[in-house]
Amino acid sequence: MIYPSNKITLQSWQSNLKGKNDVLKRDGIQMISIGILDLQGDVSEHLEATKKALKKMDIESDVLKVKTVSDLSKCDGLIISGGESTVIGKLIDKTGMNLSIVEQDIPVMGTCAGMVLLATETDYEQPLLGLIDMKVKRNGFGRQKASFEEEIEILGCKYMGVFIRAPYVEKLKDGVILAKLRDKIVALASGKHIVTAFHPELTNDTKIHEYFIKEVLKCVE
Ligand code: GLN
């Protein structure tokens, strides 16, 4: 991410964030890169939504598709899309990214299948990243025919959630609940990670992506 003089500087941006005021520099150039895991699922929608959020925030950043450990090493934050968590999980293991994602210790946003993958436990046998100590129930609101849109409240605003074979969080050890639907946890933040059971990339509202970008900025020094 490069901050031309007519853009917001990272310093002024970070001074709006709690705690961190350091200027991010790589070779003298201020920048961050956001990766979208590109193994399976609705990757291009996340790419567009991330670009739109960055534009809205007046921040220039690299947004790149991540297929390999080498792609991942360039990222300051990673988004794991919806799709089929068993398939994505197996491919994450196969590419060796399971270890790199944990070791790199960057903020990760997981949506729907991505939420499942960040869990330590689900009701299926499947490879997981275990970044958030939680148990997720897959297809918790029913299968494909039970996909729906419903208004929730998140980050102090009303928000239209798109739920497609959506999971929910059954048990959470450590985290901040951001949204519930029908008494079930459907969004939360834990440390620098954020997960949603719904698909923020399928709505025009970029507030969830903006939240994640702020987390990435907070974590990069
Ligand atoms: N139910 C799917 C899974 O567990 C997730 C569905 C989705 O990402 N839309 O993998």
Tens of pLDDT, residue by residue over 189-211, are: 999 999 999 999 999 999 999 99
Q: What is the mean pLDDT of the chain?
A: 88
Residue 111 lies in a domain: yes
Residues 6+ apart with CB under 8 A from 170: 134, 135, 136, 137, 140
CATH number where 20 lies: 3.40.50.880
Range of the domain at 176: 10-219
**Ligand 1 closest atom vs CA 199:** 9
Active site residue 45: no
Q: What DSSP line would sit under 25-90, residue for residue? A: -BTTB---EEEEE-SSSSHHHHHHHHHHHHHHTT---EEEEE-SHHHHTT-SEEEE-SS-HHHHHH
Measured in angstroms, how far is the CA atom of residue 169 from the centroid of ligand 1? 13
Flag whether 3 is in a domain.
no
Say if CB 84 and CB 53 are below 8 A apart.
no
Is the pLDDT confidence value at 20 over 90?
Answer: no
- How many independent structural domains does the chain possess? 1
**113 C-alpha to ligand 1 centroid (Å):** 4
pLDDT digits (tens, 9 = 90+) for 119-145: 999 999 999 999 999 999 999 998 766
Q: Is residue 46 part of a domain?
A: yes
Residue 121 lies in a domain: yes
In a domain? residue 4: no
Task: Tell me how far apart the alpha carbons of residues 131 and 108 are, in angstroms, rounded to a whole number.
Answer: 9
Annotated catalytic residue 210: no
Is residue 5 assigned to a domain?
A: no
Global confidence as pTM: 0.87
Which of 166, 201, 202 is closest to 182 using CA atoms?
166
